[in-house]
């Protein structure tokens, strides 16, 4: 009686965050900061934002004319924003750390997300399409054609996110941290989508039309596809463990569960890769089962497509575009389910960053603003012709056992690796 329960503590997974939009995790061995009035104010404001999201989701369900699943999409986006912000789930940051520093902490969060999501997707697919060998594809899953156009889109996206400092989903959650370069990058993405619409018909007839749409369960069944994909992920993980450079961690030590300890775990410490990956994987399965596969570009592309249609600049017909699976765009002034997801993602990321004192607006200059804009244009074009970004094509696609997801992942990684070697991330 009277003694505190002792637990083991370790350092926050992954070490320091990147220098342009986030702050280092608080090391467990450092002196515990004293709770201040500022902490109280930030936490209270953070709680108010989260409550507003919950109330907003409830209100949206009763408003006629909104998207069918607007309220649920807002909550999915909020969960995703917290997971991305707390786990630093930005594909560029993850790839850059692995390439430059041989720090593969973040890569394991991606591998876990793909493994957990793949298992969940297999269960959901089995409910809607019991026999995957019939040649049919599951409804709305992000299973796209594989052609040189997909490769070009992936390479452009990799270069673009290197120039701009984050992938599109990374810019959205880091916007909640005060990363000001996200603004020109996202504006550039809108322009890039427009360029994608202008070039779509040419690319469609040159490479997309008639391209195969390979899906692993067609060849191996669901069980075989799960085994094949898990085996690939395990091999990648084993190779990363062998290749990665060891990173120092603080020695294990005892600690007492106190309010300061709880606050550090809940608000400050970065989530570990296993936790982050598992949460993102589960969110992806729930999103697909209830609304649609995760993606963050459908609303951005829809804004551009609608604006071009209003000004009569959109091609009269975008051949085959609306028949393909991916982050679909339409001409409409109604906010899509994807738009509400994006709103929830940004606001929840802001709430998480604010409570953990990670909301710190970063300086923007003509130079880094210009490279962010150019990188955004490349990402927007790449996402449009590839039918999605690193969340829609890579994450949701691989979880759905689409070969297109693996091809996009490889080409984005290649574009990022080359760009980093040429120092474009320091532009």
pLDDT at residue 259, as a whole number: 67
Residue 7 lies in a domain: no
Q: Tell me the per-residue pLDDT of 143-157, one tens digit each, with 9 for 90 and over.
A: 999 999 999 999 999
pLDDT at residue 68, as a whole number: 78
Residue 6 lies in a domain: no
pLDDT band at 15 (very low <50, low <70, confident <90, very high): very low
Q: How many domains does the chain have?
A: 1
Question: What integer is the mean pLDDT of 208-225?
Answer: 96
Residue 216 lies in a domain: yes
pLDDT band at 32 (very low <50, low <70, confident <90, very high): low
| Residue with the larger pLDDT of the pair 267 and 339 | 339
Residue 370 lies in a domain: yes
Give the residue numbers spanning the domain of 367: 28-246+253-426
pLDDT at residue 26, as a whole number: 44
**SS3 at position 187:** helix
Q: Tell me the per-residue pLDDT of 355-410, one tens digit each, with 9 for 90 and over.
A: 999 999 999 999 999 999 999 999 999 999 999 999 999 999 999 999 999 999 99
- Is the confidence at residue 7, as pLDDT, over 90? no
Residue 350 lies in a domain: yes
pLDDT at residue 379, as a whole number: 98
Report the range of poorest mean pLDDT among 3-17, 33-47, 88-102, 195-209: 3-17
Residue 14 lies in a domain: no
Question: What integer is the mean pLDDT of 189-197?
Answer: 98
pLDDT band at 33 (very low <50, low <70, confident <90, very high): low
Inter-CA distances, 186 with 247, 281, 301, 347, 363, Å:
34, 25, 11, 16, 17
Report the range of poorest mean pLDDT among 6-15, 114-123, 278-287, 294-303: 6-15
pLDDT at residue 39, as a whole number: 85
Of 69, 140, 85, 48, the residue nearest 340 (C-alpha)? 69
**SS3 at position 248:** coil
- Is the confidence at residue 2, as pLDDT, over 90? no
**Residue 152 CB coordination number (10 Å):** 18
**SS3 at position 251:** coil
Strand partners, 7: 255
Q: Tell me the per-residue pLDDT of 254-267, one tens digit each, with 9 for 90 and over.
A: 455 566 767 777 77
140 in Cβ contact with 325 (< 8 Å): yes
Residue 287 lies in a domain: yes
pLDDT band at 415 (very low <50, low <70, confident <90, very high): very high
pLDDT band at 25 (very low <50, low <70, confident <90, very high): very low
**Cα distance between residue 418 and residue 406, in whole Å:** 18
**Residue 243 CB coordination number (10 Å):** 10
pLDDT at residue 98, as a whole number: 94
Residue 419 lies in a domain: yes
Q: Tell me the per-residue pLDDT of 235-291, one tens digit each, with 9 for 90 and over.
A: 999 999 888 765 544 443 445 556 676 777 777 788 999 999 999 999 999 999 999
pLDDT cut 70: percent of the chain above it: 88
């Amino acid at each position: 009686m009277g003694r505190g329960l002792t637990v083991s503590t370790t350092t926050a997974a992954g070490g320091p965050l990147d220098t342009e939009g986030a702050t280092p995790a608080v090391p467990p061995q450092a002196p515990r900061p004293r709770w201040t009035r500022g902490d109280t104010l930030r936490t209270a404001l953070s709680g108010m934002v989260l409550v507003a999201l919950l109330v907003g989701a409830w209100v949206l369900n009763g408003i006629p004319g909104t998207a069918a699943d607007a309220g649920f999409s807002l909550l999915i986006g909020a969960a995703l924003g917290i997971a991305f912000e707390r786990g630093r789930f930005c594909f560029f940051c993850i790839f850059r750390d692995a390439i430059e520093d041989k720090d593969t902490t973040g890569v394991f969060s991606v591998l876990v997300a793909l493994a957990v999501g793949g298992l969940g997707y297999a269960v959901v697919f089995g409910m809607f399409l019991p026999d995957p060998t019939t040649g049919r594809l599951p409804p709305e899953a992000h299973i796209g054609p594989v052609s040189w156009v997909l490769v070009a889109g992936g390479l452009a996206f990799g270069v673009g996110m290197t120039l701009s400092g984050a992938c599109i989903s990374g810019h959205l959650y880091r916007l909640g941290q005060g990363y000001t370069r996200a603004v020109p990058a996202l504006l550039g993405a809108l322009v890039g989508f427009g360029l994608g619409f202008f070039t779509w018909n040419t690319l469609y007839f040159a490479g997309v039309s008639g391209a195969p749409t390979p899906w692993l369960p067609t060849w191996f069944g669901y069980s075989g596809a799960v085994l094949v994909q898990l085996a690939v992920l395990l091999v990648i993980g084993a190779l990363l463990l062998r290749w990665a450079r060891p990173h120092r961690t603080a020695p294990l030590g005892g600690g007492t569960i106190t309010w300061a300890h709880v606050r550090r775990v809940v608000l400050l410490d970065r989530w570990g890769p296993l936790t982050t990956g598992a949460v993102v994987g589960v969110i992806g399965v729930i999103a697909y089962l209830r609304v649609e596969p995760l993606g963050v570009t459908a609303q951005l592309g829809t804004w551009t497509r609608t604006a071009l249609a209003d000004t009569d600049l959109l091609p009269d017909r975008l051949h085959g575009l609306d028949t393909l699976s991916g982050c679909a765009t339409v001409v409409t002034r109604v906010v899509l389910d994807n738009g509400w997801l994006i709103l929830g993602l940004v606001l929840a990321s802001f709430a998480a960053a604010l409570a953990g004192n990670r909301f710190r607006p970063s300086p923007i200059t003509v130079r880094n603003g210009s490279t962010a804009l150019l990188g955004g244009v490349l990402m927007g074009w790449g996402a449009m012709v590839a039918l999605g970004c690193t969340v829609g094509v890579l994450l949701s696609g691989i979880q759905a056992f689409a070969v297109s997801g693996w091809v996009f992942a490889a080409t984005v990684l290649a574009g990022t690796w080359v760009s980093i070697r040429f120092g474009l991330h320091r532009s």
